[in-house]
Amino acid sequence: MRTFVVAADEGRFQDAADELGISQQAVSKRVAALEKDLGVRLFTRTARGIRPTTDGEAFLPHARALLETADRARESVRPGRRPLRVDVLGRRSVCAAMLLEFHGQHPEIELEVVTLPNGAAAMAALQAGTIDAAFCAQPTPPPDGVRTMRVHDEPLHLLVGLGHKLADAVELTPKDLAGHRIWIPGIVPGAEWGVFYDELAAAFGLSIDATGPNFGSEHMLGLIADTPELATFWGTGVRPARTEGLRLIPVTAPTPVYPHSLIWRADNPHPGLVALRRHLAKNWRSTRRSATWTASWVREPAPE
């Protein structure tokens, strides 16, 4: 098709061959194959070269339109020509905040932000090629061809209503939380944050209640503010959507930290992905507290 259009524009098979970087014989064969497929002659020879036949003139605008469509399709997936698709835990998560900061420093890189339900869904989308990268924790080793880097250790504090027994505490240790109902609704069995909280509960004898659907942070914060026996862990990377009737109490000695990582496919050539990884490595965020606790399965070392 492209050979036909170039030959029509050039008016000579030799000139078309020079334009396409192939031989004149190859141009003739391609045009002959197209004519055979269509069942019509597309060119007639003249003293000066070639010119389209009536059928060739009729076919030419459609051929141009098909080539333009093919070119647009190719450009849509050419590295750097399409948005960088990145999955975050939620649009109010610390990961989303980190991605927003990256966009502020690199406005030339077009981003598409998606929110998949958990790390398993993110890994499946990554392997299928429907996303370029994802922020998540990695309790199990990644599959072959998938790379990970630790990008943020997020300290977890206790969030309670003003009527809670611990509401007046200046700070707490994990052992102080034993016997109190820590509510984290909607944990999917096997999800990475569920694995993290299971290990945290076992390490300090905590009672983590995952019952009930998760209707979003605003609903959960309202219930915690109104229910004296409820508490939850809250990452310090993002302020709660509401603060009235609530207290965020630091947890120390040690401070539990949730390990956020970035995952991506090693064969992904998108230049925006390279820029994102460099940005995250340069802006590594970790708690400055001396005593922290994180899950035993965290493999990636914290950047120096």
CATH number at residue 28: 1.10.10.10
**Residue at which a domain ends, from 77, 107, 139:** 77
Mean of pLDDT values over 233-262: 88
Confidence band of 190 (pLDDT split at 50, 70, 90)? confident
Binning the chain into helix, strand and coil, the percentages to the nearest 5 are 40, 20, 40
Please tell me the total count of domains within the chain: 2
CB 251 within 8 A of CB 172: yes
Q: Are residues 217 and 302 in the same domain?
A: yes
Q: Are residues 129 and 68 in the same domain?
A: no
Domain of 200, CATH number, reads 3.40.190.290
Residues 6+ apart with CB under 8 A from 117: 188
Q: Are residues 12 and 158 in the same domain?
A: no
pLDDT > 70: what percent of the chain? 94
Residue 107 has pLDDT above 80, yes or no: yes
Mean of pLDDT values over 89-96: 86
Q: State the pLDDT at residue 10.
A: 92
Q: Are residues 201 and 303 in the same domain?
A: yes
Residue 191 has pLDDT above 90, yes or no: no
Q: Are residues 242 and 111 in the same domain?
A: yes
Confidence band of 243 (pLDDT split at 50, 70, 90)? confident
Q: Are residues 144 and 212 in the same domain?
A: yes
Residue 60 has pLDDT above 60, yes or no: yes
Tokens of 258: 């949730």
**Residue at which a domain ends, from 28, 59, 77:** 77
Q: State the pLDDT at residue 80.
A: 57
Mean of pLDDT values over 14-35: 93
Residue 130 has pLDDT above 60, yes or no: yes
Domain hosting 64: range is 2-77
Q: Are residues 119 and 259 in the same domain?
A: yes
Tokens of 293: 């606790």
**Residue at which a domain ends, from 30, 58, 77:** 77
Helices then strands, counting H and E runs in the chain, come out as 9, 12
Where does 168-240 have alpha helices with state H?
192-204, 217-226
Residue 44 has pLDDT above 60, yes or no: yes
Residue 56 has pLDDT above 80, yes or no: yes
Q: Are residues 195 and 52 in the same domain?
A: no
Residue 254 has pLDDT above 70, yes or no: yes
Q: Of 56-60, 64-68, 92-96, 188-192, which one has max mean pLDDT?
A: 56-60
Mean of pLDDT values over 131-142: 91
Q: Are residues 215 and 278 in the same domain?
A: yes
Average pLDDT, the chain: 89
Q: Give tens-digit pLDDT for 29-41.
A: 999 999 999 999 9
Residue 287 has pLDDT above 60, yes or no: no
Q: State the pLDDT at residue 71.
A: 77
DSSP string spanning 17-57? HHHHTS-HHHHHHHHHHHHHHHTS--EEEETTEEEE-HHHH
Query: What is the rounded CA–CA span in Å between residue 171 and residue 212?
Result: 28
Residue 106 has pLDDT above 70, yes or no: yes
Q: State the pLDDT at residue 67.
A: 87
Confidence band of 118 (pLDDT split at 50, 70, 90)? confident
Q: State the pLDDT at residue 117.
A: 85
Q: Are residues 19 and 64 in the same domain?
A: yes
CB 134 within 8 A of CB 121: no
Q: State the pLDDT at residue 240.
A: 74
Confidence band of 75 (pLDDT split at 50, 70, 90)? low
Q: Are residues 156 and 175 in the same domain?
A: yes
Instruction: State the Cα torsion 179-185-191-193 to the nearest 10°.
Output: -60
Confidence band of 7 (pLDDT split at 50, 70, 90)? very high
Q: Are residues 39 and 99 in the same domain?
A: no
